[in-house]
Amino acid sequence: MQINQNASIDWAEDRKNDLVMAVVSLRNMREVERFLSDLLTAREIEDCAKRLRAAVLLDQNTPYLTIQEATGLSSSTIANISRILHKGYGGFVLAIVRLTRLSSLKSELVEKDGYLATLLKNISH
């Protein structure tokens, strides 16, 4: 992956550093939800969620039209997300990898929970 070296974000600037530190300090999903709800409007949160969903679908080689239908995003926004996915800083890729892992772990737990429930049911009879 080629990393975008042309962005002009100065993360060392105190305000931006405080934002990063605030996010890193959050301990669980509920705290993140509360923080994002205070920081962003409902529309901004929805837009961010759509962009992430588009990145996930692009990573799965989903056609643009399908992504448009699933997210309501324009083809130009999807193209921009695709460009960032392939030439950005790797944030989307990192998030997608971790989401995939979490989804896999969740599936394993559901399977194990079902197995354990069946096992306990069989033992009790």
d(CA 53, CA 47): 10
d(CA 57, CA 63): 8
Protein fold of 40-124: Trp Operon Repressor; Chain A (1.10.1270)
d(CA 23, CA 28): 11
End-to-end CA distance of the chain: 56
Please list the rounded mean pLDDT of every run of 10 residues in the chain (125 residues): 60 91 95 97 98 98 98 98 96 96 79 69 61
pLDDT at residue number 1:
44
Domain range annotation of the chain: 40-124
Contact 61, 21 (CB under 8 A): no
Q: What is the maximum alpha-carbon separation in the chain?
A: 66
pLDDT at residue number 57:
98
pLDDT at residue number 12:
87
pLDDT at residue number 4:
53
d(CA 92, CA 87): 10
DSSP string, 17-39: HHHHHHHHH--SHHHHHHHHHHH
pLDDT at residue number 88:
93
